[in-house]
Structure 1
């Protein structure tokens, strides 16, 4: 069993200390193979906010992490920094690579930097990025049929509500179609602080295979949305069954004000290959 913990939109500078402590306890209990931070790590891209984010990642111990920037991780009120060195503080905290990758026998995760200094909030994926990711996916698909293959963007490729359409990733149509043909299973995102799982094969006409959008809420920030408290995703990928079908479970864990701990709210059982029903959704209790 491979376990991935998706944390998004931490917005350090607005983090809630009790939630930070609870999330570290959850990570310790899960012992995930990888922690993904899918953008908006900080509130205003300030050095001290990135230092707090780095301290949080360091508290995860030896757990591997994959971190991509979000639009909040580029300076907003410093035009010179935004134009000339937009990622300086991010790279000081998390290294030079803005599009990191992680690979193990059970998992391939590819980060895509969808931020653009010339855009305020909107994200964009270029044709060069689409091709780069597709080439890596195709190589992995040829090497291992069992691996879970994941792409991480900050802005969503699909939404559930009309009011969120303005936040959709520019260039998503060609990216989703190309990455599906190359063998992607999941596209992880954040940005809108709204957790959900969406079948992209039902959203994009003619998609080559089953592929899912997995969106995370805000993990640590007081900037929660509506009635949803702080939230993270836990993704579990099992070895293929006897019939070769691959199954993955996406669990949404929300912070409980009562228990001061993260608790599982809903589980989505996804059949990645076409032989089985595509999805089953269950709630604990």
Structure 2
């Protein structure tokens, strides 16, 4: 069994400070083989925020990889954004913008979907996807990790990343199995599975792990337990009106038949299930 912990949208500089220690405790007791952080480690890519993010990552016990998000590029320093957009990220987090890890039968491939020429919208140019496809291995499970989702549900008011639809079609064609993303601060797992349309990639869109924006209503992360063709997703949620994380909820998927399909949802607590959507939407600039 391979255990992958997925975090996204930490937003250091506009984060829920009281949740940092509970989050680290959960991470470091989860027995994960790898922690994957899908972008927005900082809120405005300022040096102090990068120092906070780097300190947090240093305190993670398991191996980890991260990819940049749109918030990890300087917003107000226009020369820096144009000429050295990833200088702060490379200095504080990692020089590699598209890292890769292989854990047993699972390969995780990072993708940098941030666009220095856009405030919040991502981009996946063809040459980048070509490079990604060239790195795909003949592994039983290939996981692609990026900040911007490859699909949006109808109620999402943000623009889909440029090239996302083409990238998704090409990944489907070569047999990638799972896509991890963030950006929207809205949890979704398996929402886009459609065997009739040939949509077989399991997309897991994380909520925000630490952002303190009240409209998000909750912070969260998830764990993926991968065992052959079976997957259990363990979702950990900390509502903003509660002091810490609730007991986890579990979702189960299988691709024993050749394509992913859900097996059910089994809350492991007596409280009501956590709703999927946040209670408020924001403008594109405010969520940039």
Question: Do the two structures share a fold, i.e. TM-score over 0.5?
Answer: yes
- 2:162 counterpart residue number: 170
Residue 98 of structure 1 contacts residue 113 of structure 1 at CA under 8 Å; is this kept in 2?
yes
Cα separation, partners in 2 of 1:127 and 1:198, compared to 1, 3 Å: same
Q: Which residue, 171, 181, 184 being the options, matches 1:189?
A: 181
Aligned residue pair count: 268
Deviation (angstroms), 1:222: 0.4
Q: CA RMSD in A?
A: 2.1
- 1:37 counterpart residue number: 37
1:269 equivalent to 2:268? Answer no
- 1:255 counterpart residue number: 238
- 2:211 counterpart residue number: 221
Deviation (angstroms), 1:256: 4.9
Secondary structure of 2:245's match?
A: strand
Cα separation, partners in 2 of 1:204 and 1:175, compared to 1, 3 Å: farther
Q: Which residue, 137, 142, 145 being the options, matches 1:149?
A: 142
1:280 equivalent to 2:263? Answer yes
- Counterparts of 2:121 and 2:35 in 1: how far apart (Å)? 25
Cα separation, partners in 2 of 1:272 and 1:132, compared to 1, 3 Å: farther
Q: How does 1:91-102 map to 2 (within 5 A)?
A: 91-102=90-101
- Counterparts of 2:30 and 2:181 in 1: how far apart (Å)? 21
Cα separation, partners in 2 of 1:258 and 1:123, compared to 1, 3 Å: closer
1:211 equivalent to 2:201? Answer yes
- 1:113 counterpart residue number: 112
Cα separation, partners in 2 of 1:189 and 1:279, compared to 1, 3 Å: same
Cα separation, partners in 2 of 1:68 and 1:220, compared to 1, 3 Å: same
Residue 112 of structure 1 contacts residue 151 of structure 1 at CA under 8 Å; is this kept in 2?
yes
Residue 36 of structure 2 contacts residue 66 of structure 2 at CA under 8 Å; is this kept in 1?
yes
- 1:55 counterpart residue number: 55
- Counterparts of 2:11 and 2:237 in 1: how far apart (Å)? 17
Structure 1 residues without counterparts, runs of 5 or longer: 241-245
**Residues 100-109 or 155-164, more deviating:** 155-164
Q: Deviations over 1:118-167 (max 9, x none)?
A: 11110010111212222222xx22xx43xx21101111112234233x33
The TM-score, its normalising length taken from structure 2, stands at: 0.86
- Counterparts of 2:255 and 2:247 in 1: how far apart (Å)? 22
Deviation (angstroms), 1:230: 0.5
The TM-score, its normalising length taken from structure 1, stands at: 0.87
- Counterparts of 2:32 and 2:125 in 1: how far apart (Å)? 31
Cα separation, partners in 2 of 1:257 and 1:121, compared to 1, 3 Å: closer
- 2:153 counterpart residue number: 160
Secondary structure of 1:30's match?
A: coil
